[in-house]
Each structure stands twice: as structure tokens, then as C-alpha cells.
Amino acid sequence: MLREAWTIAIETMSWMELRRLNERSALMRTTTQLGIKDAGAIRLAYGLVIETTRRKNLIDKFINTVITPKKIGEYNQGIQAFLRLYVYQTRVAKNWGKIHLKEAESIASLGRSILGWQTLREVELCLGFLLTRQLAPIMEGASETERIALETYHPLWFVEYCTKLFGKEEAIAFLKGSLNPPPTYIRINTLAVSEEEILEKLVAEGIKFEKAEPLNHTYKILGLKTPLNMSPSLKSGLLYVQDKASCFAVQTANPSPGNTVFDVCAAPGAKTTFLAQLMENHGDIVSVDFSTKRMRTWQMETKRMGAKIAEPMVADARVSVPIVDEADLVVLDPPCTSSGVFAKQPSAKWRLSPKSIANMSGIQQQMINNCAEKIKVGGTLIYSTCSVTLEENEGVVGQFLKEHSDFRLTKITPEFGSPGLANLTECRRLYPHIHHCNGFFIAKLQKV
């Protein structure tokens, strides 16, 4: 199993570098390509990939001090992946402490068998130095900002950005809070049976939970007897695994039975199925997404959760929302830089740049403007992202309000989270280190 796990991990990280794929997409491509179905090997490989990728800047800087004058990026993808995984497993996972020589020799042997001894020979002499080199001199030689970047495993420019946005102390707290994935949350599906009945079933399955106040139908998982994806309740549509920040965004929308709702950027279906639940399956939901592949997942999820009032539409909301009718409610969760979910998707922070923030906010502006055209007078527009940047959130909403005098911000209830920035205090922000969920932004606008 160990050889299979390391083979998957090396190949997955190679695809991530080569095609700029996220962890899950690269893992799926790799396991399909290699034909490996061992669940244990896949889980081990995924853990190695996630934790190595999370610390990529520190690991690369450490490696570069050993292989100088070359840089790690000058080697082929297989060697790059192996060196990073080797340093993670032999040094980082041991907290840079005691050296386990036999384990290191075993990993080197795995590298030879997977990559070929001729390929690995180019860096094999470096493995011993990587095993004994101390981290302290590297940290001592760094500037204060670089040291924060290395200690919190974030790009230097993003540390500078967060410091300017939040202040130094709060920025460090946020960056540290973005290292560990938040708790798992579930939403109880009352379209199936009553909440009480579902909770009884969860107890019988050995699932421990507590209410995620002040949200409705939302619970934090405290303990499991078996993996959640094996739960009969999950498979039968009695619950949906959904972060509480996402649940809060839909609860903020507060749809009523009989409403006409447009769910824009709807796949894979978390928002649609919760909207249908709150509407008690009375009314109409049109779910729009540009991806045919993702909408196939949406169809499976809406069927599993019993959301009978939702209809799919494949369209690009950057161009238009091609629906003739007007809606009582439009929920827009556009593509974003995902800077609020770096704990779950660490590869995203290494793909991110200031330019990508600007590009993404331009796309979001197009989408929110197109959505505004589809709302009845008195209707509501919910805008949310899983990003913490100012440009994608208050920047988009502020510009929207300047261009649309017929919309105004309204207060969000329940009053959960932190106030928005840039004087848009009616908006709400959620942070991993404060609210123990994904980083999130929500704005509620009414057409008057």
C-alpha cells in the first residue's frame, strides 16, 4: 500500500504543477490514470499531498538551501514532487526534530522504484543533507514579513495584503486560522422527514453532533463511528455536508414558499437544495451554471435531497442570465479566488496573485450586474463569496451600488459573523479563526 500511496502522491503533485489543478481534480485524474482503487492508499496519498502542498513555500525554501545553485523548479515534475514529499515526511511531520534514518532510507528506496534510479540519481546525494540541515538559520535570516509567511505557510505578497487589510495582529491570527480545516458541518433535510427523526437516526448511527447556533437545520459533527460518506442517512438524502458559512448565506436569503428564485452559479447543488427546503418545495427555482459536468452533479444532488421545484439551466452568467421572467430572489455565489478556504484547498494560495484578484472581481462585477436585471421591485439579491479580499467583496458591492441607485443594502439576520469593511457594515464577514468555518462574505441587497 505504501508504494501505491507514494506513486499516487508523486503523480498527483506532478499534475498539480503541470496543469494548475487543485488537489482533488489531480487526485481523481491520477487514480483513474493508474487504475489504483485501494481506498487506504488513496487516503494516505491525499493526506500527503494536502499537507505537503500546505507548506510548499517553507519546504521549497529549505530544499533550495541544499540544492543551490539550482532551484527546485529546474527539475522535472517527478523529482520536484518527490523532494517536497520527502522533506514533509522526514522533517516537517517530525516537527523538524528526531531523525528516523530507516524511514528516510525506505522513502529513498520508494523514490528509486517509482521514478527509476537513474532519474533520482540526480538528487540522491542531497537527501542526506535534507535530513540533517537545520531550519533555524533559514528563519533567522528572513525578514519579519517573510518569517510570518514561512511560519503561516502563505505567499509573501498575501501576508502583506492581509496585514494592510486587517492590521498585523489580526492578519497573523487569520493566516494561522487558515492552516487547519474547519469542523465538518451538516444540514438536516426536512424535506424528507422531521428534523427530530433525522437526529434520532444520526444518534443510532453513532454520529455525535451539536447545533451550530444561530443557524437553522445546521449541526457541527463532534464524532463518528464510521466515515461520514458511509452514513445511510447521507446516502438517502437526510443530510447534506455543507459548511455553516454556506448555510448562513442561504438562510440570509430567507425565501418563502411560492417564491420565484434564481440560483446563479448553482452547481453542485448545496444552495439549490437548501433553498428548496426553506421553500417547502413550493415555488420555482431556476439553477444556472456554466458547467455541464458540474450540473450533472447538481442533478444527482437535487434528486438525492428531494428538491422537486428546481430546474437546471446551463448558461454563462458573465454574458447574461437568459431567463425571461423576473425573480423574487436571486442568489449569486460567483467564482472567486477561494482565499477563505485555503485550509481545504491549499494549492489555491500558490496559484493566487494580485492580478488574479483583479481579474476575478471584474468577472464578479459582470455577474452581479446581469443578475440585477432579473429581480422584481421589492425583490432581493444575495451576493456571497468564499473569499476574504476587499476587491471581490465590498469592492464589488460598493461599485454595484454606485451604478444601481434602485438597490440598497439591508440588514442581515440573524446577526452572525463580523461587519463588512469599507463602511459597508450591513454586510457580514466570517473568518476561520473567529467563526470556525470557511472564510466568507455575504451582502443582502433589495431592489426598491
User: Is residue 182 within 8 Å of residue 437, measured between CB atoms?
Assistant: yes
Cell of 299: 442533478
386 carries an active-site annotation: yes
Q: Which residue(s) pair with 418 in the sheet?
A: 429
The one catalytic residue among 162, 247, 265, 386: 386
DSSP one-letter string for 374-422:
TEEEEEEEEEEES---TTTTHHHHHHHHHH-TTEEE---SS--SEE-ST
CA distance 297 to 25: 15
Angle, helices 56-67 vs 77-87, to 10°: value is 100
User: Is residue 379 within 8 Å of residue 328, measured between CB atoms?
Assistant: yes
Query: What is the residue whose three cell numbers read 463602511?
Result: 423
CA distance 320 to 318: 6
CA distance 404 to 407: 6
Burial of 230 (0-12, 13-18, 19+ CB in 10 A): exposed
CA distance 85 to 91: 10
User: Is residue 39 within 8 Å of residue 110, measured between CB atoms?
Assistant: no
Q: 296 CB contacts (<8 Å, ≥6 apart)? A: none
Helices (H), 188-346: 195-204, 232-235, 244-253, 270-278, 292-304
Q: Which residue(s) pair with 310 in the sheet?
A: 285
Provide the annotated active-site residues. 386
